[in-house]
Amino acid sequence: MSAKPLLELICPAGSLPALKSAVDNGADGVYLGLRDNTNARNFAGLNFDAKTLAEGVRYAHTKGTKVLMALNTYPQPATLARWHQAVDTAATSGVDAIILADPGLMAYARKTHPELRLHLSVQGSATSYEAIAFYRERFGIQRAVLPRVLSLPQVENVIAHTDVEIELFGFGGLCVMVEGRCLLSSYACGDSPNTFGACSPGHAVRWQQTGQGMETRLNGILIDRYADDEKAGYPTLCKGRFEVQGETYYALEEPTSLNSLELLPDMARLGVAALKIEGRQRSPAYVAQVTKIWRSAIDVVKKSPQSFQTQPAWMAELAKLSEGSMNTLGAYYRPWK
Amino acid sequence: MEMNPSAMKLSLGPLLYYWSREDTLAFYEQAASWPVDIVYLGESVCSRRHLLRLADWLEVAEKLAAVGKEVVLSTQTLIESESDLKALRKLVADGRFAVEANEWGAVHLLAERGQAFVAGPALNAYNPDTLALLADLGAKRWVPPVEMPRTMLRAMTVPEGMETELFAYGRLPLAFSARCFTARRYNLQKDDCQFRCLDHPDGLTLNTREGEAFLTLNGIQTQSAKVMSLAHRLDELIAQSIAVLRLSPQSRHMDKVVQVWHALVHAQATPQETRNRLEKLMPGSACDGYWLGESGHSYHPDPFSGGAPA
């Protein structure tokens, strides 16, 4: 058995140009999805068809970069065949692994394509080594992506009790809820990440200038209202301002992004196998910039973890790229909870 | 009150809020005389809620079992720490009562022991393959994800011998987080939350900036502000071979809520009468949108309107 990977950099590829950006700037792996609701970034104009997938796999493999395909929504009875077909497509396209959330789909993949490497998606909501052991023993998963829920000591405890590779989110959009366990979007507008593959989808969003300021709505529900001197953000519904007991504030989470760069030495010490950069909906230029900075930082950490320091230029650049220009360590830092 | 063996069974879902020890024990003492067939017990939301320990829950369980209730112990939905796992193992190992598994670590432990279980709504069984897998692992009953519409439920092939239990009444459990939103409301950290959930026996209402009740904060859980009720759609529930209807506890009038549902499933009240009675007993306004394949918060009080045809 080969040695476990350490801090592989896994970057988002929402399109062929984004894939090339990630590959050219030093990603160890890219992840992508097909053009339908079989993955959790089911956005118009995004993702891959048969032709771009073949081209993407070829491009990445030529440069030694792995390709991971996300099939991480939950198959539904009427369209189950679509997910099965997507697994078959992945197997024949030569991707290096598929990222799944649904146990039924894992059973299909294991039976039909036993050679295909399986990763457990963050949408599988596995936060303990007992849950990971379930997928390991039943389906032979080789990697699990942890929800953005655990503190670093809790991550350490998971790693100590499993031989499955552990992948963490490093940077990008921050889900405040446990992935795979959040129905807020379908409660508001009918479409949830689990079944539709998107949260707060664009078709339900309305922006409207009113006498009280710019209002953002999701299926008619007021998510936030901005004064003239405030920059209006996308109405992701957990990041709006609401009123509780007469007080109006970001009741669930601020419009902020995860940036765990300063934790790289700890993650190296813990043996975190891979770090995922969120953002398949972002531009190729964004992917290039973020990949470049994280590549540099990971290279420094791997060479000399003791002397690692976050460079102000990295942090400034990453902050600029972030939603609302705000960064957080999220649940990795316990007081966030 | 008499039980009609052919009628759908009623269950009292796990208590999702945090009440004082006295209030919790009094609630279940009363529940012993309510016409529910099944009672789910235990803390399924937050590991910091400690006023009742496993031993206390087991004592409640014994009392309810003694008066003929089927008792099921619900596991915690979000497992974060080693002590969470320890509590889970202890609950599974007791073995006296059936267990509702609310995440796959619990399924793993139960299947290892060959123990039959109930597959909770957070297991995300959205398709027949996953449901068949759960049956193989020992699930004798399953609760569909609360967002599952009637059309999808009808297309599910339910394995032989497995019962379907539907979340039929109560505020919808919508999301779990590592963060405690009740503590956040009071500018407290979760580790020092001062157990503020105790002050909010039906959670804290989150309104939009134009005063529309939208969500309910319940510690690390986010619920709907509206109360899901499918009482007016009884005929559809019968047609879908639902075995058990789950009623989720609320702090006031739960005795009446149970009685009203009991009258409904025993044909002593019409669906429309039941709907009107329940609307007076709810802690918020009603919704049924998920069942119709619409946004969860929408509501069609007329059972012959709304959504794709049943």
**Sheet hosting strand A213-218, strand order edge to edge:** A205-210, A213-218, A221-226
Q: What DSSP string describes A231-260?
A: PP----GGGS-EEETTEEE-SS--S-EEE-
Residue B188 lies inside a defined structural domain of this protein = no
* A58 and A126, same domain (yes or no): yes
Q: For residue B122, which residues of chain A lie inside 8 Å, CB to CB?
A: 125, 181
* A24 and A82, same domain (yes or no): yes
HSE-up of residue B302 (Cα within 13 Å, Cβ side): 4
How would you classify the pairing of strands B117-119 and A205-210?
unpaired
- Looking at the structure of chain B, the number of domains it has is 1
Q: pLDDT tens for residues A152-187?
A: 999 999 999 999 999 999 999 889 999 999 999 999
Nearest CA in chain B to A101: B124
Q: Considering A223, A249, A275, which residue would you say is the last residue of a domain?
A: A249
Q: For residue A157, which residues of chain B lie inside 8 Å, CB to CB?
A: 81-82
How would you classify the pairing of strands B139-142 and B163-177?
parallel
* A152 and A39, same domain (yes or no): yes
Unique residue bearing structure tokens 């393959």? B129
The Cα–Cα gap between A190 and A185 comes to 7
- Cβ of A182 within 8 Å of Cβ of B174? The answer is yes
- Cβ of A103 within 8 Å of Cβ of B133? The answer is yes
Does the CB of B93 have a partner CB in chain A at under 8 Å? no
pTM above 0.90, yes or no: yes
Nearest CA in chain B to A126: B104
Q: Residue B302: which of B215, B233, B209 has the closest Cα?
A: B233
Residue A76 lies inside a defined structural domain of this protein = yes
User: Residue A294 — pLDDT band, cuts 50, 70, 90?
Assistant: very high
Query: Residue-wise pLDDT tens for chain B (310 aa)?
Result: 444 546 899 999 999 999 999 999 999 999 999 999 999 999 999 999 999 999 999 999 999 999 999 999 999 999 999 999 999 999 999 999 999 999 999 999 999 999 999 999 999 999 999 999 999 999 999 999 999 999 999 999 999 999 999 999 999 999 999 999 999 999 999 999 999 999 999 999 999 999 999 999 999 999 999 999 999 999 999 999 999 999 999 999 999 999 999 999 999 999 999 999 999 999 999 999 999 999 999 999 998 876 655 4
Six token digits for residue A325: 């220009």
CATH number for the domain including A272? 3.20.20.70
Residue A1 lies inside a defined structural domain of this protein = no
Nearest to B177 among A74, A178, A223 (CB): A178
- Cβ of A241 within 8 Å of Cβ of B209? The answer is yes
| Total Cβ atoms within 10 A of residue B255 | 14
Q: Residue A72: which of A180, A202, A218 has the closest Cα?
A: A180
- Cβ of B79 within 8 Å of Cβ of A134? The answer is no
Residue B270 lies inside a defined structural domain of this protein = yes
Residue B266 lies inside a defined structural domain of this protein = yes
Nearest CA in chain A to B135: A104
Is the alpha carbon torsion for A217, A223, A226, A230 positive or negative?
negative
* A238 and A123, same domain (yes or no): no
CATH number for the domain including B256? 3.20.20.70
Percent of chain A residues past pLDDT 70, beyond the cut: 99
Residue B160 lies inside a defined structural domain of this protein = yes
Q: Note which residues in 6-35 of chain B have CB less than 8 A from chain A.
A: none
Return the DSSP state at A205.
E
Phi/psi at A289 (5° precision): -65, -50
The Cα–Cα gap between A186 and A334 comes to 29
Q: What DSSP string describes B35-100?
A: S-SEEEES--S-TT--SS-HHHHHHHHHHHHHTT-EEEEEPPS---SHHHHHHHHHHHHH-SSEEE
How would you classify the pairing of strands A143-145 and A165-173?
parallel
Chain A closest-CA separation from residue B32 CA (Å): 32
Chain A closest-CA separation from residue B54 CA (Å): 20
Residue B285 lies inside a defined structural domain of this protein = yes
Chain A closest-CA separation from residue B33 CA (Å): 34
Q: Which domain, by its residues, includes B111?
A: 9-171+226-292
* A244 and A262, same domain (yes or no): no
Q: Which domain, by its residues, includes A192?
A: 184-249
Mean pLDDT across chain A: 95
- Mutation target vs A (from B88, B91, B147; most A CBs, 10 A cutoff): B147
Chain A closest-CA separation from residue B126 CA (Å): 6
* A223 and A145, same domain (yes or no): no
Residue A144 lies inside a defined structural domain of this protein = yes
- Looking at the structure of chain A, the number of domains it has is 2
- Mutation target vs A (from B113, B142, B209, B217; most A CBs, 10 A cutoff): B209
The Cα–Cα gap between B275 and B264 comes to 10
Q: What pLDDT score does B7 carry? A: 84
Does the CB of A245 have a partner CB in chain B at under 8 Å? yes
Q: Residue B210: which of A228, A208, A192, A202 has the closest Cα?
A: A208
Residue B113 lies inside a defined structural domain of this protein = yes
Determine whether A5 is exposed, middle or buried from the number of CB atoms within 10 Å of its CB (0-12, 13-18, 19+). Answer: middle
- Cβ of A182 within 8 Å of Cβ of B176? The answer is yes
**CB-CB contact of A330 with A148 (8 Å):** yes
Q: Helix (H, G, I), strand (E, B), or coil: what is residue B118?
A: strand
Q: What pLDDT score does A252 carry? A: 96
Six token digits for residue B254: 């739960």
- Cβ of B177 within 8 Å of Cβ of A183? The answer is no
Q: Considering A195, A219, A249, which residue would you say is the last residue of a domain?
A: A249
* A80 and A195, same domain (yes or no): no
- Cβ of A128 within 8 Å of Cβ of B105? The answer is yes
**CB-CB contact of A15 with A284 (8 Å):** yes
Q: pLDDT tens for residues A213-258?
A: 999 999 999 999 999 999 888 999 999 999 999 999 999 999 989 9
Q: For residue B185, which residues of chain A lie inside 8 Å, CB to CB?
A: 244-245, 247, 251
